[in-house]
Structure 1
């Protein structure tokens, strides 16, 4: 698939010069800061050295005083309290965070995670029935609930109070709960809007500890949960999230909770410096696998566990769910790819809509993401659940998937989501009509630039600029994530030193040793996964361009810098 390379616009030259002089860094580093909106020494200091004291006053959040008062009353009166959260990683870490804080303060405390398949997302009728039957008087909801208008009304009639901690966009009406904490409420003046669901729960606990003079160390001991939620929910790693992620990673790397320690062990991360990327690709998927394959409550159970033997046993069980998830992911993705290639019109299409009644509902979102990456077009993967076609949709850069699906709403039973990802349900008989109309909508509205994947380098760089000092400073840009991605560099006209080779089980990767044509004698080690097709041209000694990240590679006890090549020799537009 063709890709376009671009280089980002540099920051303001006056700002770059100022930062370079004030921080004693080179112009490349100063430009990377300027591109991230950093314009002064103090802003750079806060960026490189986040402080927990930089966290905002939690009482700036709408309804926070009401939430703290209601939680305090439940603690004082020893009410029965239920903690409720979504079945994904953000939801389960949110529940674990709240449960760990409250379990020494409330005797009759329990948690509830809805079943992905029989109850679905959000506050379910079954959960309200359960709360009423078990005589819970307060339910603290995390990572969902902002649209549960009718459910909260029903619960209120049953005498059940709700505190909602959510981070999703609300509708015009806000649920009539005791307190609704959501920085995205139009009437909420909280200065940072991009908290994860777990982050909103953390702010409630922060407010409680401030009001009742509880030592902050108890609260900060839970930050490993928060960073796992931030990474897994792909929220921006900026502002307050950057502070929470920075200290959450410190906790995760030095003294994680028992459950996360177990997940770290089964993820083969012991002894490594765990990063946001490790959470996204190794820790998060294992916690998610429970909700996809079995039940999300398993993830909460391990996150709040205090017995090491039980934690190890449950960790192995959760890991087995992840292995099942990976097998389903691989097999269904291949089946979907085969369906596309057997479609005689697939090359003419601008969208993909596939249905198979036997596909596992827990992985259709992952499969939709993989097919979107492969063909780079809006993709919807459907399976059968409870007699209906239900599934997940994923989009490409700048294409509003949610709006396109909304134009087919008359064919749907329900749908929800945002610009890049959505879920939807329809009658099985409506699939052909939906497929035709969705294709028509995408064809008429998608632009040429949206049909082609774009790699955007932060800046051009000479290999000779890559020094240990340069990399040490670059590492201080961590934690990386949305709106602070790992810098992507472009170097033009590099050469193979003569020792590059194909590696991997099927010789599908390239192990490169690169030099500059300027006569610089330094050789730079690089790895280019799944790019062996470039080997013949590279081995002929012709210059080529590379897009890459800079990383470290440990081999035989020695750590060296290595270029992680994202793409080779594409034309720059």
Structure 2
């Protein structure tokens, strides 16, 4: 697929020069810092040295004092508390953190995960009825609830109090809960707005620990679960999230809880995890529990107290993940065939595919794969509970949610954000939706948005890549949204030795510039360039710099994102 190379807009060169002098570092590194809003020594020190003491006071969050007061009252009077969370990675890790912590201090505690297919996302009437039937008087809702105004009102009628811990943007009206913890509330002055749902749960237990003089170690032992939520919910890795992710990765790689350790073992990688490794190896397995069977299995694994029970749940989740992969691959193949054999679909600026027999639990994954393949706004539809349910994904810069607003009269409901959304419609509206969505996208998307972009941070000579440079660059991690692994461009490089094909379509080679060392490279999905790469022919590359670990040997490797002859 053709990709557009775009170099970041000019950075304040004076700020770059001054910061390079103050830190005694390569100007390219100081440019990366300035791009991240860091332009003085103190901010750089804060960035390069994450410290748990940088975590904000949890009581700065609106309603935190009310939440802790209500929990303390429930514990004192032996009320039954239900910890309620969503069925995805963020929700199940949040439930595991909050349930695992409070179980040490309160006996009358259970957790509840709604059924993905019977109850859907968020607070459900069935969940509230379960609480009423089993005499729970307090529900702590995690990663959901901020828009559940009617459901919370129903719970109030039944005498059930709610504490909402959510990180999604509120609607015009807040639910009438005892406490609503959400930094995105307009009236909340909490300094950091981008916590995950599990992150909000972590702040809740941090506040309880501070109020009750519980050692911080009783809270920090959940750092690994918080890091998993940050990675898999694709929240910003800046500010407080960066601190939580830093410590969480350290714990995960050195002393993970029993459940996470077991999950790492069944994933086939037990050390040197990065944020990307969590996303691709651990996240899908946790999600598979709820996509294929029951998300409670994920919680049971993450709160496991002994290795035997963890092993049973870990193996079960791995089996469900294998089953999920089977659905994923078969549906993706069917969708690709459907598109490639239809001249009308190929020629469109959007992709909408429908098959009533596809598994609802994986259509979001399939939508992502189709977007990656054809690079245009994509919706995958299937039948579910008498309706047609869909999952949608977008391309860089295009507002998918706004496009769905243009089709709202054809939809029963929809929700999401700029790049991902879910929707439901009546079966008889499918054909009309396919045509309307194409009309809206065609009239609002630009030709530039339909070409995948590689955003390049800076130009770099290969001679600059030496041990000090790499050591400092490594300290920019953990990488993720708003702090992505930097992408560099080096011009007029030459292949040294032979370039060869590995796998089905990947190039492995060694490159250099005059006077530089030789660097091993891997160029995934660039096999079509192999015949053009000659020893005496210069070419440009854009790439990220990473550490390659093979049989305990570490080396610098260039992960090539693009080749230009």
Give me the TM-score of the superposition, normalised by structure 2: 0.98
CA distance in structure 2 between the aligned counterparts of 1:529 and 1:55, rounded to whole angstroms: 38
Preserved contact between residue 79 and residue 106 of structure 1 (Cα < 8 Å): no
CA distance in structure 2 between the aligned counterparts of 1:471 and 1:340, rounded to whole angstroms: 44
Preserved contact between residue 402 and residue 416 of structure 1 (Cα < 8 Å): yes
Preserved contact between residue 497 and residue 535 of structure 2 (Cα < 8 Å): no
Partner of residue 354, structure 2: 355
CA distance in structure 1 between the aligned counterparts of 2:45 and 2:262, rounded to whole angstroms: 35
Partner of residue 511, structure 1: 508
CA distance in structure 2 between the aligned counterparts of 1:530 and 1:40, rounded to whole angstroms: 40
Preserved contact between residue 286 and residue 298 of structure 2 (Cα < 8 Å): yes
CA distance in structure 2 between the aligned counterparts of 1:261 and 1:276, rounded to whole angstroms: 16
Structure 1 residue 7 displacement after superposition: 1.1
Partner of residue 532, structure 1: 527
Pick which of 551-560 and 223-232 moved more. 551-560
Partner of residue 396, structure 1: 395
Structure 1 residue 141 displacement after superposition: 0.2
CA distance in structure 1 between the aligned counterparts of 2:420 and 2:67, rounded to whole angstroms: 31
Residues 240-285 of structure 1, C-alpha deviations (whole Å, 9 max, x = no match): 1111111111111111111001001111222x21111111110111
Tell me the matched-pair count: 565
Partner of residue 548, structure 1: 543
Structure 1 residue 409 displacement after superposition: 1.1
Preserved contact between residue 11 and residue 31 of structure 1 (Cα < 8 Å): yes
Structure 2 residue 547 is matched with structure 1 residue 563: no
Structure 2 residue 117 is matched with structure 1 residue 117: yes
Preserved contact between residue 85 and residue 141 of structure 1 (Cα < 8 Å): yes
| Runs of 4 or more consecutive aligned structure 1 residues displaced over 4 Å after TM superposition | none
Partner of residue 196, structure 2: 196
Structure 1 residue 543 displacement after superposition: 1.2
Equivalent position SS for 2:240: helix
Residues 502-539 of structure 1, C-alpha deviations (whole Å, 9 max, x = no match): 122x4x211111121x3x26221111122111011003
Structure 1 residue 556 displacement after superposition: 4.6
Structure 1 residue 308 displacement after superposition: 0.9
Partner of residue 269, structure 1: 269
Preserved contact between residue 165 and residue 200 of structure 2 (Cα < 8 Å): yes
The residue correspondences of 1:263-302 to structure 2 (distance < 5 A) are 263-270=263-270, 272-302=271-301
Partner of residue 152, structure 1: 152
Structure 2 residue 518 is matched with structure 1 residue 523: yes
Structure 2 residue 360 is matched with structure 1 residue 365: no
Structure 1 residue 41 displacement after superposition: 0.5
Partner of residue 341, structure 1: 340
The residue correspondences of 1:82-97 to structure 2 (distance < 5 A) are 82-97=82-97
Give me the TM-score of the superposition, normalised by structure 1: 0.97
Partner of residue 457, structure 2: 458
Residues 305-331 of structure 1, C-alpha deviations (whole Å, 9 max, x = no match): 112111111101101111111121111
Structure 1 residue 498 displacement after superposition: 3.0
Equivalent position SS for 2:533: helix
CA distance in structure 2 between the aligned counterparts of 1:425 and 1:251, rounded to whole angstroms: 40
Partner of residue 187, structure 1: 187
Partner of residue 448, structure 1: 447
CA distance in structure 2 between the aligned counterparts of 1:500 and 1:2, rounded to whole angstroms: 22
CA distance in structure 2 between the aligned counterparts of 1:359 and 1:370, rounded to whole angstroms: 15
Pick which of 487-496 and 159-168 moved more. 487-496
CA distance in structure 1 between the aligned counterparts of 2:205 and 2:244, rounded to whole angstroms: 14
Distance 1:478 1:195, change over 3 A: same
CA distance in structure 2 between the aligned counterparts of 1:343 and 1:6, rounded to whole angstroms: 33
Structure 1 residue 557 displacement after superposition: 4.1
Equivalent position SS for 1:490: strand
Distance 1:339 1:44, change over 3 A: same
Residues 219-246 of structure 1, C-alpha deviations (whole Å, 9 max, x = no match): 1111111111000000000011111111
Gaps of 5+ in 1: none
Structure 1 residue 348 displacement after superposition: 2.3
Gaps of 5+ in 2: none
Preserved contact between residue 10 and residue 35 of structure 1 (Cα < 8 Å): no
CA distance in structure 2 between the aligned counterparts of 1:230 and 1:99, rounded to whole angstroms: 19
Partner of residue 81, structure 1: 81
Structure 1 residue 443 displacement after superposition: 0.5
Structure 1 residue 347 displacement after superposition: 3.3
Structure 1 residue 27 displacement after superposition: 0.6
Preserved contact between residue 339 and residue 346 of structure 2 (Cα < 8 Å): no
Residues 425-464 of structure 1, C-alpha deviations (whole Å, 9 max, x = no match): 0011100001111110111111122111110111011111
Structure 2 residue 238 is matched with structure 1 residue 238: yes
Preserved contact between residue 10 and residue 31 of structure 1 (Cα < 8 Å): no
Residues 276-298 of structure 1, C-alpha deviations (whole Å, 9 max, x = no match): 11111101111111011111111
CA distance in structure 2 between the aligned counterparts of 1:224 and 1:497, rounded to whole angstroms: 42
CA distance in structure 2 between the aligned counterparts of 1:558 and 1:97, rounded to whole angstroms: 36
CA distance in structure 2 between the aligned counterparts of 1:521 and 1:138, rounded to whole angstroms: 64
Equivalent position SS for 1:539: coil
